[in-house]
Structure 1
Amino acid sequence: MLIGLSSYSFPWAVGIPGYVPTQPLTHDGLLERAIAWNVSAVQFGDNLPLDVLSVDEWKALRSKAEANGIQLEVGMRGLKPVNLKTYIRLAWEARSPFLRVVIDEGDFQPTVDEVMAIIKEKLPALRQAGVMLGIENHDRFSRRDLANIARKTDSDWVGFCVDTTNSMGAGESVLDVLDALTFLKVVNLHLKDFRAQRIESKMGFHVEGCEPGTGLLNIQNLLYDRKTYQLNKQDRPITLTLEQWPPFRNTLDETIAMELAWAEKGIQWIKQAITDLPK
């Protein structure tokens, strides 16, 4: 197992619509944190896209990662042929073992059949680049939809980045999702802790992110689970990537500071969980 940071480890520092920091976290800044915290991988998601870099900036980022023994992982949003063409090339240049994809983008919300048609069109490019497609679970697609997409396209080249919270919107737990994907390829786990509290009326729940290790995500049970053990029998090591949903706190600066502190604790949380795995 590899331990990784992501641009979604620091969503407030990168910036979200309506909340742009004075000095947003940059591509190089994210890589520097990975170096300082001694992690093995850095994932650049759609909130810190790689296609905006100049040729020289992109070359420098790759060289710096290689010099420090860090695996670059490439991510994108919007499963459109034009996006895939660009990002398959970037993943190949980065030697990224997979291309993490969030299918939907704004009004672009393809059906399962449309998703499969797009993937089939791009399979030759994925194979030629040696890059696996890593589809991220989101609440619009059930675990059965995801499994069918892989099985009906090419499960050797279509795998998954499984987020521990996203499928709650589909009424599914992360273990439900992993169970459906057993014997398919899961290349990445997004470890995101959360809590759920009843709203004041008691008729419903409020779900939000929390400090890693203090919420409802039992990382020990997840990593001990037989489904997760199965992942380690694959031909590619799985990356355990820290992601966060930090709630806003008074000011943007205060929120970013909290997010940074949580992330540092989160990496230690993951490292300790791996250390505690039975040998």
Structure 2
Amino acid sequence: MDLGISTYTYPWAVGVPGYGPAQPLALPELLEIGHRLAVKRLQIGDNLPVHTLPSTSWCEAIRRAGQLGVQLELGTRRLEREHIGRYLELAAQAGSPFLRVVVDDQGYAPSRAEVVAEVRALLPQLREQKIRLGIENHDRFSAKSLQIIVESTDPDWVGICLDTSNSLGAGEGVAYLVEILAPYVINLHYKDIAIRRVAHKMGFEVAGCAPGQGLIDPRYLLSTLSKYLRCESVTLEQWPPYLGTLEATIRQEAAWAEEGIDLLKNTLKNYTQ
């Protein structure tokens, strides 16, 4: 398994709606950070949509990634055949081995049957371009539903991008997710969280925390996924809390990123693939 960073390793620095930094972190800087941290991959998520970049900037990012020896991985949201078809072309340009996709988008929430139909329509392009589709668990679909989607299409070309925390929105914890979806996982998003009971005791608060300080055990995840020889990369993602100012939040985000990469490097030493 290769280790990588993402645009969601640095969500505040890349830009959160309503909290835009004066100088958002862009692809050139992310590539240099990845090189400095000695990781092998950079995943570009939907918070930095590459289809909006000038073609010269996109081509330069691909060229620079090759120079630095950083493998690009492409991601987007909206599992709709025309949009995904366009992103598969961009993924092919970048040499991305898979396209990570969040199914839903604003005003777009297809049923499971509709997702299966869209993916089946994309299978010829996936096979032709030799790019796998990694469907991310993202709140709405249960692990069982995601398993059915993969098995109803083509598990050779359709897999799961497993996010360790997103499925809390569907009432499912990471251990259950891994139990159901581990055989299909092609990319892991390691994102640590803490869950605390609120002061009045009637409810819980879920929040991101420093990697390794919360509930998500990387040793369990990597030891389990390594048995299936399918997960090719682990990506550090983060949910850093807002600290009152954007500057302080971005500083903590960067410090957590350093800690998280060190944690995952040390953990991965035992699970080479």
* TM norm structure 2: 0.96
- Shift in Å at residue 106 of structure 1? 1.1
Judged with a 3 Å threshold, the aligned counterparts in structure 2 of structure 1 residues 107 and 220 are, in CA distance, closer, same or farther, namely: same
- C-alpha displacement at 1:82, in angstroms? 2.2
Q: CA deviation at 1:277?
A: 4.8
Match for residue 192 of structure 1? 191
Equivalences, count: 273
Partner of 1:242: 236
Q: Deviations over 1:194-232 (max 9, x none)?
A: 10110111111100001111111111222233xx1323x
Contact 2:10–2:254 at 8 Å: present in 1 too?
A: yes
Shift of 1:182: 4.2
* Alpha-carbon distance, 1:278 to partner: 9.4
Aligned to 1:97: 97
Check the 8 A contact 2:226/2:271 in 1, yes or no. no
Deviations 1:113-153 (A, max 9, x none): 00011111111111111110000001200001001001111
Check 1:224–1:5 CA distance in 2 against 1; reply closer, same or farther (3 A cut): same
Determine if contact 2:101/2:136 at 8 Å carries over to the other structure.
Answer: yes
Which of residues 264, 271, 278 is equivalent to 2:265?
Answer: 271
What SS is found at the alignment partner of 1:8? coil
The answer on whether the counterparts of 1:43 and 1:75 sit within 8 Å (CA) in structure 2 is: yes
CA contact 1:162–1:174 (8 Å) conserved in 2: no
Matches of 2:210 and 2:182 in 1, distance apart? 29
Residue 80 (structure 2) aligns with: 80
Give yes or no for contact 1:182–1:230 (8 Å, CA) kept in 2.
Answer: no
Deviations 1:219-250 (A, max 9, x none): 1222233xx1323x23xx52110000000001
Once the two structures are aligned, what percentage of the paired residues are identical?
A: 45
Establish whether residue 229 from structure 1 lines up as the match of residue 226 from structure 2: yes
Q: 1:173 to 1:68 in 2, by over 3 A?
A: same
Gapped regions of structure 2 (runs ≥ 5) = none
CA drift at 1:178: 2.0
The answer on whether the counterparts of 2:6 and 2:236 sit within 8 Å (CA) in structure 1 is yes
Residues in 2 aligned to 1:68 and 1:149: alpha-carbon distance in whole angstroms: 36
Q: Tell me which residue corresponds to 1:258.
A: 252
Distance in 2 (alpha carbons) for counterparts of 1:105 and 1:20: 21
The residue number in structure 2 matching 1:217 is 216
Q: Classify 1:278/1:122 alpha carbon distance in 2 versus 1 (closer, same or farther; 3 Å).
A: closer
1:9 touches 1:263 (CA, 8 Å); kept in 2? yes
Q: Give the TM-score taking structure 1 as reference length.
A: 0.94
Moved over 3 A (4+): 276-279
Are the counterparts in 2 of residues 195 and 216 from structure 1 also a CA contact under 8 Å? yes
SS in 2 for 1:19: coil
